[in-house]
Amino acid sequence: MPDLRVKIGSLTLPNPVLVAAGTFGYGLEFTSAIRLDHLGALITKTLTATPRSGHLPPRLAVTPSGMLNSVGLQNIGLEAFLETKLPQLRRYSVAVIVSVLGESAKELAEMVGRIDRADGVSGVELNMSCPNLEEGQGTGGGGQGGDSSIPLPPVSRPLPRLIAQDAEATAAMVQAARAKTSKLLIAKLSPDVTDLRPIARAAERAGADALSVGNTFIGMSLDPETRRSRLGSLTGGLSGPAIRPLSLYRVWYTAPVVRIPVIGAGGIVQAKDAVEYFLAGAKAVAVGTANFVRPDAARQIVHGIERYMIRHKLSAIHELYGAIDFHSPWP
């Protein structure tokens, strides 16, 4: 069988297919559909310092080729996760990566320190799609992080910026987390920026072991009849196949400028989608929206990658990394 193992920071994962934050609950909800030890790793939904009830419904809106969500970080809070979910997750031999969002560098540092002391956690992913409150720039920008139930201000006022939209703010958050853990530290970047490279480099310099590229794209959908948003909040995050070409490009654009591995995410539904990401330079991938359609999507994708590698006579996954053939598609 081909060797699918991949090293991300200090962790060696059995295969390069992870499940993306927020699309696989705390993992336990999926145990009847998929064996967790078949996953490369499990990323939990984003946890905050205190429980959050999330945005008002509706939280999902279907668009022609993707899904808009405004879950608004509904979660039980870090402490409850560590006390009630983590002990159950320890029964499974899967690397658990805890996704966290801190509202300030201080809060994030405390959360990461707490996770570092917990048994059974392999790593931390920083969801930096939250508004940069320390800069006093306002409220929410959409996607999963921002409190986008508060309408965006009129354009005459400065639009809110997310932490992940700012290299310095990203570095400050990563640095704060790095100081508190020696576990795998992944910085999850937002695709909603003009240029991802400086932000990726800042995260690497600040001590991230890997980058997730990336999160949903901020979007909106309005009902012309009611003139209201189709979501309970004004904006949401677009995910699914619609964003795959956009995320793929961002992986290809970002991977060469950092030495740390890039985990690609966005619209991965089948094995061939994951292969596209490896060719573009990703070392691993995270499957998101597809989990809602097929709860065992990640396992199917792992099988499909194996079959692809056998068909292409590849013995190890790294043979695919960055292996784009630049010849014209025309014969």
Ligand X SMILES: Cc1cc2nc3c(=O)[nH]c(=O)nc-3n(C[C@H](O)[C@H](O)[C@H](O)COP(=O)(O)O)c2cc1C
Cα separation, 58 vs 40, whole angstroms: 32
CB of 250 to ligand X, least distance (A): 11
- 140 is a contact residue toward ligand X (CB under 6 A): no
Question: What H or E segment, with its residue span, contains residue 118?
Answer: none
Q: Work out the widest C-alpha separation in the chain, in whole angstroms.
A: 59
Q: Which of 268, 284, 302, 309 binds ligand X (CB under 6 A)?
A: 268
CB of 174 to ligand X, least distance (A): 15
Instruction: Kindly provide the residue ranges of all beta strands, DSSP E only, lying in 9-79, ordered along the sequence.
Output: 11-13, 17-19, 41-43, 60-62, 67-69
Any catalytic annotation for residue 130?
yes
132, 168 Cβ separation under 8 angstroms: no
CB of 70 to ligand X, least distance (A): 9
Helices (H), 234-289: 244-254, 271-280
CA trace torsion 21, 22, 28, 30 (10° rounding): -100
Q: Identify the CA nearest to 34 among candidates 47, 25, 46.
A: 25
Window 4-43: residues binding ligand X (CB under 6 A): 20-23
- 239 is a contact residue toward ligand X (CB under 6 A): yes
Window 197-236: residues binding ligand X (CB under 6 A): 215-216
Question: Looking at beta carbons only, is 2 or 280 nearer to ligand X?
Answer: 280
99, 21 Cβ separation under 8 angstroms: yes
If binding means CB under 6 A, how many residues of this protein chain bind ligand X?
Answer: 26
- 243 is a contact residue toward ligand X (CB under 6 A): yes
- 188 is a contact residue toward ligand X (CB under 6 A): yes
Binding mask 309-328 for ligand X (x = CB under 6 A): --------------------
- 186 is a contact residue toward ligand X (CB under 6 A): no
Interface positions with ligand X (CB under 6 A): 20-23, 45-46, 67, 69, 71, 99, 127, 144, 188, 215-216, 239-240, 243, 265-268, 287-290
